[in-house]
Structure 1
């Protein structure tokens, strides 16, 4: 048996390479990374490809090792140069993850030390770091010391945690699901609907509250609907409002909705995944009035703190409620109980095992400080306003509501009124060009083109280029139609 163990050990030790091998790999990965970043100014924001990365199948998992050089070459050809390039300043189609370079360093550190940041006993420093970040975000939103939260993989898990916490807080049992009413706007993010299903609330009545002229949830219609449901013997229990809808960037009237929620004793959740960190911009302070009254808030650092995808946050106003909903103790974890000086992330989350996400957030915030984040967010607001004003000047274009944050919608209305066909052609032409990536949406059965100015690499030069591309392609389409 000893002979067998030593034979296996010899192969097993290949998994723990020495310094020379690590230095070689580090050098190759750093060269790849620098090359990728250095080419971003000229690289496309969207790559059309017939193969769409199919050559990756030639590198399926096998018994024998493959050299890093060929793997990085395949990464460039089959991943980086296919589809959307979210690292590009020309990505203005969806709400992108930013990919700050220090975040990559933070992930590297977290992967090397591999701290288990789910339980305080296992990694006290890692848990303290993440809870320190949570407390900073709580202060930013105006929450008291009794609030808590969790770094999640994104807004979807954050919204799910909020909904389940609300369900447990209101003691909603299965026999009441078909009477427990949930209130949303038509612009609520689809992750809320997914959360409703996963939380077992598919039978719950969902009320879509009408929007006002600025595509915001109408507070008057909300209270009217709640009163009607109470008269029917139903149980209103959950309101979702948006601080910056993904679709249009609209901000629901937070303070008015908070007053309604308090009056009728409903859980009030604010999905601020996209818009929440605009709280750093002093000019927008008034728009956040009342957000501290929400029972829960979703924030996404991978949106407006420009972090890589996979970095969300849920804040809960009352830590006792979320602990009641999620805290469990396995027999084999009994050693951890007496050591807790901080709330363990696993006690307030769906996740037990989790990535040490805090490093990717803490490192850039500390290395840069808050000033450049504030400036970048303010810049995105002004860039969006600039685009909105400039596109209005172009003959044939109409725009949606004035942007409240950094998303705007617009469309071309040709003389023959076949606007759907024209704008479909226009968005396809912009995407095929690839230098700038935009997306489209439908609002009240009207086809609109969206611009979302969120990337920290998006500056005036990209907006000017976009305006030129739009004008150029409008002329091409008009010529083809004549």
Structure 2
């Protein structure tokens, strides 16, 4: 845990202790509760460890944590934007920053990628649902796509992926000829291995179709911040909608999600007489600083240059780790543009490291592999290599 995080934890413990002293709780009960708080704070330290690479649960940036505290003290609700003009301005600042990076024109905050995928497919159904109920996505797409289709009564067909876990463009094209879809979901940053579907090639298929193109960039969307990225605003701009989760890659606390669109979303057609202005016809209802302030403080503090520097450092750590694995006799690693490294460990069982969250396991082409996710700015390749030393 960093010095700043230690300081924040100490302040938090002191504030909770003071609050408990103002209650009627018995001293023994207070001590038991404080021990539980200590346990929670101790468990939180794992995300700041240099050898934490099992999942997309990052160490929260200190300024973002302070933004979350600020949000809890503010408690504004942008269903009544006239009462909270400062929050409305902050929301505008966030999308003025991110929409150009994704080639989109407008957006709204969400509670994460699952909500973003559901909302995007709902918008797609409203526009193209009379033509078809079919949705195509890669067999590497996030399971939230299947959930969204189930909830919306849509017919999801998964398209096989190629050897790099990208959607097979020829198979997708054949499927579209056989059954034109209502929507196609491209994945920018597959959850298992971090690969990128070819958005430009998918767009070529959809040009002659009444079809919505959604990009699930919940993980890989951070590449839009890097000038030398394999993904650009021009590529993302081919899509009708793009979702992105800053809590997966930018050190933000959950929930933190963005859903961006090519076209403005209309106001809700339903009665909202208790509000002075009708909200947009989107999935989120009440929301405020909890979805805005941590991210806003981060982009105001670091800017695009600072965020890009952090991202490039993480990607470099991932490259170093993949290179080391491939130098070991009998070992194999597959890197990715987004900092996920999948690898095999011959005659070695790394279950103990998986249980600690150092690595995780997934499947590629039906084979079990280990997975290192360089999501947190604290993760270091040399620390992971040190953990592997007994197995080499």
Same structural fold, with TM-score higher than 0.5 when normalized by the shorter chain: yes
Corresponding residue of 2:49: 88
CA distance in 2, matches of 1:188, 1:318: 25
Shift of the 277–308 alpha-carbon distance from structure 1 to 2, 3 Å rule, reads: same
Query: In the alignment, is the contact (CA less than 8 A) between 2:230 and 2:337 conserved in 1?
Result: no
Q: Return 129-138 or 374-383, whichever deviates more.
A: 129-138
Shift of the 106–32 alpha-carbon distance from structure 1 to 2, 3 Å rule, reads: closer
Deviations 1:435-475 (A, max 9, x none): x61100022320000011010222xxx31121122131x25
1:60-99 correspondence runs (5 A)? 64-65=24-25, 71-77=33-39, 79-82=40-43, 85-99=46-60
Shift of the 286–106 alpha-carbon distance from structure 1 to 2, 3 Å rule, reads: closer
Shift of the 97–168 alpha-carbon distance from structure 1 to 2, 3 Å rule, reads: farther
Q: CA deviation at 1:69?
A: 6.4
CA distance in 1, matches of 2:317, 2:281: 38
Corresponding residue of 1:241: 186
Shift of the 224–66 alpha-carbon distance from structure 1 to 2, 3 Å rule, reads: farther
Q: CA deviation at 1:185?
A: 0.4
Q: Which runs of 5+ in 2 are unaligned?
A: 13-22
Q: CA deviation at 1:217?
A: 0.6
Residue aligned with 1:252, SS: coil
CA distance in 2, matches of 1:35, 1:130: 29
Structure 1 segments (4+ residues) deviating >3 Å: 29-32, 63-72, 80-84, 285-289, 326-329
Q: CA deviation at 1:141?
A: 1.0
Q: CA deviation at 1:198?
A: 2.2
1:104-183 correspondence runs (5 A)? 104-143=65-104, 147-172=105-130, 180-183=133-136
Indicate which of 266, 276, 298 corresponds to 1:323. Answer: 266
Query: In the alignment, is the contact (CA less than 8 A) between 1:254 and 1:289 conserved in 2?
Result: no
Query: In the alignment, is the contact (CA less than 8 A) between 1:327 and 1:347 conserved in 2?
Result: no
Indicate which of 317, 329, 332 corresponds to 2:274. Answer: 332
CA distance in 2, matches of 1:30, 1:453: 23
TM-score (norm: length of structure 2)? 0.88
Query: In the alignment, is the contact (CA less than 8 A) between 1:254 and 1:288 conserved in 2?
Result: no
Deviations 1:407-440 (A, max 9, x none): 01000234xxxxxxx4xx31x12135x4x61100
Query: In the alignment, is the contact (CA less than 8 A) between 2:224 and 2:231 conserved in 1?
Result: no
Q: Which runs of 5+ in 1 are unaligned?
A: 1-28, 37-62, 231-235, 338-343, 415-421, 476-482
- Aligned pair 1:376/2:304, yes or no? no
Corresponding residue of 1:207: 157
Q: Return 265-274 or 91-100, whichever deviates more.
A: 91-100
CA distance in 2, matches of 1:379, 1:117: 36
CA RMSD of aligned residues (A): 2.6
Corresponding residue of 1:189: 142
CA distance in 1, matches of 2:233, 2:85: 34
Residue aligned with 1:328, SS: coil
Query: In the alignment, is the contact (CA less than 8 A) between 2:9 and 2:41 conserved in 1?
Result: no
Q: CA deviation at 1:206?
A: 2.1
Query: In the alignment, is the contact (CA less than 8 A) between 1:243 and 1:251 conserved in 2?
Result: yes
Shift of the 257–438 alpha-carbon distance from structure 1 to 2, 3 Å rule, reads: same
| Count of residues paired in the alignment | 376
Shift of the 66–332 alpha-carbon distance from structure 1 to 2, 3 Å rule, reads: farther
Deviations 1:212-234 (A, max 9, x none): 2211112221111110125xxxx
Indicate which of 175, 181, 185 corresponds to 1:225. Answer: 175
TM-score (norm: length of structure 1)? 0.72
Which protein has the larger Cα radius of gyration, Structure 1 or Structure 2?
Answer: 1
